[in-house]
Structure 1
Amino acid sequence: MRIAVISDIHANFPAFEEVMKDIEKQNIDAIYCLGDLVGYNVWPNAIITEIKKRRIPTIAGNHDVKAVKIQDQRNSNDPADLAYLMIKKDLVTYLSTLPAFIRLEFKFSNETVVLLMVHGSPYSNTEYLLEDKPEKDYAAIFTDTAADILICGHSHKPYHRIISDGGASKRYFHAINAGSVGKPKDGKPQACYAIVTFDKCSSAFKKDSIKVEFVRVDYDVEKAAQAIEHSDLPDEFADMLRKAY
């Protein structure tokens, strides 16, 4: 079983398009999206339409929630909020119905392995789970949620960290950040997504039995950056794409 996890597309259609082409080459069984379909660029309607057309299970990112709120109020004078005001009404309705998380349970050799997908953290779509979070604190999240694998986005910085529960059971937890399709922040402008691979021997008690791969995909960064500069959105958003911060 191979699943592709995408996150933080942020209305960057050129990046999304190339990532979808790459996923089609990867023998993927399922695709999931961790949210933040909108914000920062000029193609929110195209992104949402494609996510719906492809029937990709998607959760609500903080920018998706913000878009719904701003559309309801329609009284913002912030130029950055134009990225939300350009979304079509029916697509805003779609954003308003996205779930907060996706939880999957796999059965491998009579063992249940639980995968929890969130945008920020299990507690908030605005909370960052960074790679350097203290191991004890990270382990507590897994214990609290009864998850073995936690995949998040929000920080736009990919990582895979294996955490021991510290007990006699010798159970291992997998903390994964899928990175960002449309707005990387790790100094690498290429789009990023994650592939998680399971097989019949996958187990929470075998440290390396769950494989994680991060795929970087080239796309036309200049096209995406110039689209911002030719719009009423802040030019800084274009600089963020070029320099990946």
Structure 2
Amino acid sequence: MRIAILSDIHANFPALEQTLKSIDEQKIDAIYCLGDLVGYNVWPNAVINEIRKRHIPTLAGNHDVKAVDIHNDGSKDSGSYAYQIVGKEQISYLSALPAHIKLEYQTADKPIKILMVHGSPYSNTEYLLEDKDEKKFTAIFLDTDTDILICGHSHKPYHRVLENPNKKGCYFHAVNAGSVGKPKDGNPKCCYAVITINKSSDFSKKEGIKVEFIRVQYDIEKAAQAIEQSDLPDSYAHMLREGY
């Protein structure tokens, strides 16, 4: 089973287009999106429509929730422009997105439990960074009864393996999928994750699953110039060009 994970598209339709082309060229069995479809760019409706057209299971990111709140409040503040341009039909879609996706895959030894979140299992605004204290990180796995925890929100991809303190020789896997539309790791190319799990996956080994981070080139100038020609801050364009 090869699973593609998208996250943090942030209304960057050119980035999403090229990412989906990359996914289509591979043998992918399922695609999931961890949210933040909107914010920071001018194509929120095109992004939402493409995700819906492809029937990609998607979570509510903090920016998606913010867009719904702004529409419900009727805010016309200049700082909320990125959310005001989201259409009513698209807002209705965002308002129905779940906070978590849980999956279970059967390996030769045991069922593997996967939890997908935007930020953390407790909040879509909490960052699970790669250098998080090991005891605190493993406590999340134990609390949620999870073998693989997949998140986004920080826009910084990583795969971290942690030993289960209650079962020596058994490991947890934390995966951050990075960002499709607004990378913050110094590389402006789109990023998505591909996770491979199969019947022979052995969680008594650190290499129990395979995680790949795929970087995709897209027309960054098109996306950056669209920002500069809109009511959005020009600083967003600079962030795209520099990958931060």
Shift of 1:110: 4.6
One-letter amino acid matched to 2:27: N
How big is each residue's C-alpha offset from its partner over 1:201-223, in whole Å with a ceiling of 9 and x where there is no partner?
11322221200000000000000
**Corresponding residue number in structure 2 for 1:35:** 35
Whole-angstrom CA distance in 1 between matches of 2:41 and 2:225 = 10
Whole-angstrom CA distance in 2 between matches of 1:221 and 1:168 = 46
Whole-angstrom CA distance in 2 between matches of 1:99 and 1:138 = 23
Query: Across the two proteins, how many residue pairs are aligned to each other?
Result: 244
User: 2:157·2:178 contact (CA, 8 Å) conserved in 1?
Assistant: yes
Residue 48 in structure 1 maps to residue 48 in structure 2: yes
Residue 71 in structure 1 maps to residue 71 in structure 2: yes
Unaligned runs of 5+ in 1: none
Residue 87 in structure 1 maps to residue 83 in structure 2: no
Unaligned runs of 5+ in 2: none
How big is each residue's C-alpha offset from its partner over 1:64-102, in whole Å with a ceiling of 9 and x where there is no partner?
0000000111224243x1111001101100000000010
One-letter amino acid matched to 2:8: D
User: 2:76·2:84 contact (CA, 8 Å) conserved in 1?
Assistant: no
**Corresponding residue number in structure 2 for 1:120:** 119
Whole-angstrom CA distance in 2 between matches of 1:189 and 1:150 = 25
**Corresponding residue number in structure 2 for 1:96:** 95
Q: Secondary structure at the match of 1:102?
A: strand
Shift of 1:169: 3.6
User: 1:111·1:203 contact (CA, 8 Å) conserved in 2?
Assistant: no
Shift of 1:200: 1.1
Whole-angstrom CA distance in 1 between matches of 2:154 and 2:36 = 11
CA RMSD of aligned residues (A): 0.9
Normalising by structure 1, report the TM-score.
Answer: 0.98
Whole-angstrom CA distance in 2 between matches of 1:159 and 1:13 = 24
Whole-angstrom CA distance in 2 between matches of 1:148 and 1:49 = 32
**Corresponding residue number in structure 1 for 2:57:** 57
Shift of 1:199: 1.4
One-letter amino acid matched to 1:70: I
How big is each residue's C-alpha offset from its partner over 1:141-198, in whole Å with a ceiling of 9 and x where there is no partner?
0000000000000000000000001344421000000000000000100000000001
The list of structure 1 runs, each at least 4 consecutive aligned residues, that deviate by more than 6 angstroms after superposition, is: none
Q: Secondary structure at the match of 1:130?
A: coil
Shift of 1:15: 0.4
Whole-angstrom CA distance in 1 between matches of 2:75 and 2:94 = 19
